[in-house]
Amino acid sequence: MKTICINCPMGCPLEITEEDGKITVRGYTCKRGLDYGVSEYTAPVRTVTTLMRTSDGGVVPVKTSRPVPKNRMFDVLERIRTLIAPADADIGCVVEHDILALGADIVVTGRPAPHPNK
């Protein structure tokens, strides 16, 4: 697997290979790069942020409370599309616990913009 280290502007090109259960990272220039290479190879995770519909027809921003496996991002999004947040949900409101049994909750992160003429 090839990727770029994200820890600093250097952006070392990393090549990660596995042989007999031993993971080898090539191309890193510091310890952070080595650790990053191993974690990106073994268990890459991402925080997912998107929008959720609200019960009054608007949208509010939501996030996963912790990073989920990278290859499950679109499954998480598909599930979020089926959910509806209460119109008065405040920041921190949990709309779904333990989404897809991935250990992350879906949390409201913002409020809808007030209407300018109200």
Partner 1 sequence: MTRFDVIVIGGGPAGMAAALAADAKGAKVLVIERDVRLGGILNQCIHAGFGLHYFGEELTGPEYADRFEKRLAKTGVKVMLGAMALSVGREGEVVVLSPEEGLTHLKAGAVVLAMGCRERTAGAIALAGTRPAGIYTAGMAQKMCNIEGYLVGRRIVILGSGDIGLIMARRMTLEGAHVERVIELMPYSAGLKRNIVQCLEDFGIPIDYSHTVTRVVGKPRMEGLYYAPVDENRKPVLSEEKFIPCDCLLLSVGLIPENDILSGTDIVLSRVTSGAEVDENRMTTVPGVFSCGNVLHVHDLVDNVSHESEIAGAAAAEYALHGAPVTDGNVYAVGVGRGVRYALPQRIHGGEGSVEIFFRTDNVYKNCKVVAECGGRTLWSKKRMIVAPGEMEKIVLDKRDIDGEVTVRLEI
The angle formed by the CA atoms of residues 62, 101 and 83, to the nearest 5 degrees, is 40
Smallest gap from Cβ 24 to partner 1, in A, equals 20
Cβ at position 7, least distance to partner 1 in Å: 8
Q: Quick one: 116 exposed, middle or buried, by C-beta within 10 A (0-12, 13-18, 19+)?
A: exposed
Which tokens in the block code for residue 41? 């190879």
Binding site for partner 1 (CB under 8 A): 3-11, 29, 46-51, 58-59, 61, 63, 70, 73, 77, 91, 109-111, 113-116
Instruction: Name which of 64 and 96 has its Cβ closer to partner 1.
Output: 64
Judged by beta carbon, residue 48 or residue 96, the one nearer partner 1 is 48
Q: Quick check: helix, strand or coil at residue 54?
A: strand
